[in-house]
Amino acid sequence: MRFTFFIFFLFLFFQNTFSQPSYLRGRVLDSETNQPLAFVNVVYNNTQKGVVTSIDGEFRLKLSDDFQYLRVSYLGYEKKTIKKEEIGGSSVTINLQPTSYDISEVKVLPGINPAHRIIHAAIENKPVNNPENLSSFSYYAYNRMHFTIDTSVLEQRNQKIDSLKMLGQDTLITSLDSTFMRMQRFFRKQHIFLLEAVNKREYMKPDRNLETVIASRVSGLQNPSFSLLATQMQSFSFYNDFVEVLQYSFLSPLAKGSTKKYFFLLEDTIYKNADTVFIISYRPYKNKNFEGLTGQLHINTNGYAIEHLIAETSVRDDAFGVKIQQQHEFVQNLQWFPVELNTTIEFKSMSASIGDTDISLMGLGKSYIDSIKIRPTLNKRKFREVEMLIEDDAHQQPDVYWDKFRPRSLSDKDSVTYHVVDSIGEENNFDRILFVLETLASGYIPYKFLNIDITSIIDFNQYESVRLGLGVMTNEKVSRFFSVGGYGAYGFGDKGFKYGATFELTPFNLKHHKLGLHYSRDVIESGGYSFYSQQPELTTSIFRSFYIENMDEVEKFEIYSESRALKFLEYRPFFRRSYHQTTNGYAFNTAEPAENFSFSEAGVKLRYAYQEKFAQTPRGHRMSMGTDYPVLQMNITRGLNLMDGQYNYWRISARIKESFQTRNFGVTSLALSGGINPFDVPYPKLFAGKAAYAIVGIYAQESFGAMRMNEFISNRFVNLFLTQNFKSLLFRTEKFAPEIALVQNISYGTLDFPESHLNIPVKAPEKGYFESGIIFNSLLRQNILTYGIGVFYRYGNYAFPKTIDNFAFKLSIGFELGTLN
């Protein structure tokens, strides 16, 4: 029996060894750019049986004995047939010629669109096919990204030279030819910049996520913080309603109701074993204005899931272009899961001109996902508010470690990039520059052992006019446990010096827990209020300070602490004494009218952002990645009759902010704020209206653009700021896509003791203050900056008799990569 079994085993061995079915390996390239083409259909003979190329343009096809020829087809390229005798081996390289075929010119077929049935089935199955609906998963990912230029311009060079030769402009030919030759030599040899990262991701439904960078290599840098960029290039899942690339959002072709926005066309069908793959092209309908994509979906009948996809921005002449490619596999016969992701970003706003040719910066990212585990057992305790972090030794991993994750070895061009850029980085101290940029995100410029407060250098308001100053704090080079600093400033309008000093203690090196002492003599807005955050908020609301007129001279001493609790709560308890001197002749009506006041206050400032996530750099700096939930902020202050405090009161204010995107209306932003102080107190402890009026001025979010400065004062108030940014949904052409935003602002307030306030007019918006506005953003672009215009109009009970007085005209400022709003 043993001998019989042994003979049977040998038979199977020889059968499998010498009777292996033949396989053909190949790669499909663009004949003009020599770039690999992903998801090309490769079938053999007169059948629909075959394969699709990988995201790197490669394929492996099992051939039967009756193999005669290959048929290769790809949308936008000429079809190609390759006979068996033309292959001549077990591998082949196939070059496809682009056609002038334009997806925007496809014909619409009459009757029911057969692609819609497939798309509707894919949409219905999104909850099952979306990996982020799993109870848990984990994987390792190798990410790489390099920056270069749009190499198609090098091809355009020859056409340009030929044109100049015909015109006889030999001098210009020599100049252009020399420049392009140098560029060609450079980009054949190396990239501009290269980074690699290996990260481990662990996920638990619904929103527990942890990505840890375990290996990092960045050309020119030792600091691995920049490697976080490689992991954030594009959305992991294409099943969400919006596809995220950097800070841009595009409506997914698999969003609910997408068949009313996109035109779908069934291009081809491929049979793979027992499954069928439908290849469907899509593009936005011509009469639909939205941030859309164009490309292909390969839908597998196994669950009607995405197997492959291609997506690129549908407006080709925009200042920002992106192309996405994803490859999904049915992992462990359980779940469709993305395994390869490509992203190409063209920064058209970051370009240089040589002659008449514009050369754009390109970013090319690749992610390879491996070691996927479906529904592993994970520990909830390891998931914190920090969603992304970098291990301390990530930048020190040896080559043998990298070899375990790289799908292929570094190319000669990659190696040259590392060698050359590392040398340049060391010579120019790129790590120092990154350290500066990282610290700038916290609002400081590091210089040796000092951090310079950016906001202290220059400012402008109507009271001080131009304000110049300097504020510094010692950094970790002095001590990780404490810092000391101060500031000085001079206002050219009030001709006054201001100064202050601060001491902060970080106990046990807990970076997000501080104890502080502060003393200052400065000016602040009378009746002003602000809300607390440990990180600076970059919105256009910062421009409101330009309009402030009414300020008090204040001497203040404060003791405080800053900390986090309950995972998402930031708090700042404090006790302070302050002395206020009014500057506009105001007096408080007491037995002896007073123009200066002494306050003793205890209180707390709170900020609660549920599910707010952070990325943490090796130096411990945290960068907020935002939250999908409303953010709540509150100030609670108790005025005390002790330690020279003259007034007993409660002053409470709060704000809730939310911003969300919808398929048909763009981005809705809402801020609701209110406050109360029911006691008879001087003007500085009331609530001034958030006015920001100038007949022509800069738009400031969360302020009343047509409300005069110091027009209203309240001891109870509620403000509503509502903005509906339609993006380009209302109007768009191929070369012009302004963003149109409608603004509605409302304020109600009361003033209980108007007789207590002397020498200045006081009133509250008891009948309701109303204004509406329209902002046209992105009318002009200059590098990464965008400019627009807007107009506000006030109406209702507080409208002025003269119509023109109710208008305020605004200039809006934003950034091309993420609007400042």
- Write out the DSSP string of 146-181: EEEE-THHHHHHHHHHHHHHHHT-HHHHHHHHHHHH
- For the chain, the maximum distance between any two Cα atoms, rounded to a whole number of angstroms, is 118
Mean pLDDT of the chain: 84
DSSP bridge partners of 342: 325, 366
- Give CA–CA dist 408/820, Å, rounded: 40
State pLDDT tens for residues 109-143.
556 788 999 999 999 999 999 999 999 999 999 98
196 and 138, same domain (yes or no): yes
What's the pLDDT band for 8 if we cut at 50, 70, 90?
A: very low
- Among the residue ranges 153-157, 597-601, 807-811, the one predicted with the least confidence is 153-157
For the record, the structure tokens of 28 come out as: 């499909």
What's the pLDDT band for 756 if we cut at 50, 70, 90?
A: very high
pLDDT of residue 381: 85
Q: What letters, b where the CB count within 10 A reaches 16 and e where it falls short, cover 195-223?
A: bbbbbbbbbbeeebebbbbbbbbbbbbeb
**Identity (one letter) of the amino acid at 160?**
K
pLDDT of residue 650: 97
Q: Is residue 474 part of a domain?
A: no
167 and 191, same domain (yes or no): yes
User: Does pLDDT of 440 surpass 80?
Assistant: no
145 and 81, same domain (yes or no): no
Domain count, the chain: 3
521 and 394, same domain (yes or no): no
pLDDT of residue 44: 82
User: Does pLDDT of 265 surpass 80?
Assistant: yes
State pLDDT tens for residues 47-58.
777 788 888 888
Q: What is the CATH number of the domain that holds 76?
A: 2.60.40.1120
545 and 569, same domain (yes or no): yes
| Cis status of the peptide bond prior to 206, with omega within 30 of 0 | yes
CA distances 698 to 557, 577, 582, 734, 804, Å, are: 34, 35, 28, 28, 18
129 and 76, same domain (yes or no): no
Percent of the chain clearing pLDDT 70 (strictly above): 82
Mean pLDDT to the nearest integer, 54-80 = 83
446 contacts 471 by C-beta, under 8 angstroms = no
For the beta carbon of residue 32, count every other beta carbon within 10 angstroms.
Answer: 12
292 contacts 262 by C-beta, under 8 angstroms = yes
CA distances 328 to 289, 312, 341, 658, Å, are: 30, 18, 9, 34
pLDDT of residue 38: 86
269 and 137, same domain (yes or no): yes
Residue partners of 166: CB distance under 8 A and separation at least 6: none
pLDDT of residue 395: 82
Q: Is residue 436 part of a domain?
A: no
Mean pLDDT to the nearest integer, 216-220 = 81
126 and 271, same domain (yes or no): yes
Q: Is residue 488 part of a domain?
A: no
**Identity (one letter) of the amino acid at 286?**
K
- Which range of 138-147, 656-665, 752-761 scores highest in mean pLDDT? It is 752-761
- Give CA–CA dist 703/719, Å, rounded: 9
Domain final residue pick, 52, 70, 101: 101
State pLDDT tens for residues 204-213.
998 888 988 8
693 contacts 706 by C-beta, under 8 angstroms = yes
Domain final residue pick, 48, 67, 101: 101
pLDDT of residue 273: 76
- Which range of 164-168, 184-188, 350-354, 721-725 scores highest in mean pLDDT? It is 721-725
The three-point CA angle 45-50-51 to 5° equals: 145
pLDDT of residue 669: 94
Q: How far separated are the first and last CA of the chain, in Å rounded? A: 81
Residue partners of 71: CB distance under 8 A and separation at least 6: 41, 42, 43, 44, 50, 79, 80, 81
Q: What is the CATH number of the domain that holds 659?
A: 2.40.160
What's the pLDDT band for 147 if we cut at 50, 70, 90?
A: confident
Mean pLDDT to the nearest integer, 803-818 = 83
User: Does pLDDT of 451 surpass 60?
Assistant: yes
User: Does pLDDT of 103 surpass 50?
Assistant: no
Q: Is residue 457 part of a domain?
A: no
State pLDDT tens for residues 497-542.
999 999 999 876 556 688 999 999 999 999 999 999 877 666 788 8
717 contacts 747 by C-beta, under 8 angstroms = yes
- Which range of 49-53, 84-88, 271-275, 374-378 scores highest in mean pLDDT? It is 374-378
State pLDDT tens for residues 414-433.
888 887 777 766 666 666 66
User: Does pLDDT of 15 surpass 60?
Assistant: no
Boundaries of domain holding 32: 21-101
Domain final residue pick, 76, 101, 126: 101
Q: Is residue 282 part of a domain?
A: yes
542 contacts 556 by C-beta, under 8 angstroms = no
Residue partners of 328: CB distance under 8 A and separation at least 6: 305, 306, 307, 308, 336, 337, 338, 339
- Among the residue ranges 43-47, 357-361, 642-646, 694-698, the one predicted with the least confidence is 357-361
Strand ranges for 677-731 from DSSP E: 687-688, 696-698, 713-714, 716-725
26 and 127, same domain (yes or no): no
User: Does pLDDT of 20 surpass 50?
Assistant: no
- Give CA–CA dist 281/770, Å, rounded: 48
- Give CA–CA dist 747/750, Å, rounded: 10
State pLDDT tens for residues 465-476.
999 999 999 988
For the record, the structure tokens of 405 come out as: 């994750």
User: Does pLDDT of 86 surpass 90?
Assistant: no
- Give CA–CA dist 167/173, Å, rounded: 10
189 and 41, same domain (yes or no): no
Q: What letters, b where the CB count within 10 A reaches 16 and e where it falls short, cover 312-329?
A: bbbbeebbbbbbbbbbbe
Residue 150: phi and psi, rounded to 5, are: -70, 100
Residue partners of 497: CB distance under 8 A and separation at least 6: 488, 489, 490
Q: Is residue 439 part of a domain?
A: no
User: Does pLDDT of 6 surpass 50?
Assistant: no
Q: Is residue 459 part of a domain?
A: no
User: Does pLDDT of 809 surpass 90?
Assistant: yes
Long-range (24+ apart) CB contacts under 8 A made by 47-53 are 47/271, 48/269, 48/270, 48/271, 49/270, 49/271, 49/272, 50/270, 51/270, 51/272, 52/270, 52/277, 52/298, 52/307, 52/308, 53/27, 53/28
User: Does pLDDT of 100 surpass 60?
Assistant: no
What's the pLDDT band for 32 if we cut at 50, 70, 90?
A: confident
- Give CA–CA dist 570/634, Å, rounded: 11
244 and 179, same domain (yes or no): yes
Radius of gyration of the chain (CA): 32
Going by their DSSP bridges, the two strands 596-609 and 631-640 should be labelled as: antiparallel
Q: Is residue 127 part of a domain?
A: yes
What's the pLDDT band for 19 if we cut at 50, 70, 90?
A: very low
Residue 429 gets which letter from DSSP?
Answer: T
- Which range of 473-487, 717-731, 743-757 scores highest in mean pLDDT? It is 743-757
166 and 66, same domain (yes or no): no
User: Does pLDDT of 161 surpass 70?
Assistant: no
Q: Which of 750, 723, 745 is nearest to 669 (CA)?
A: 723
pLDDT of residue 687: 97
Mean pLDDT to the nearest integer, 396-407 = 89
Mean pLDDT to the nearest integer, 206-221 = 85
Residue 327: phi and psi, rounded to 5, are: -120, 125
Of how many residues is the chain composed? Answer: 821
Q: What letters, b where the CB count within 10 A reaches 16 and e where it falls short, cover 504-542?
A: bebeeeeeeebebebebebbbbbbebebeebeeeeebbb
Q: Residue 446: which H helix or E strand, with range?
A: strand 444-447
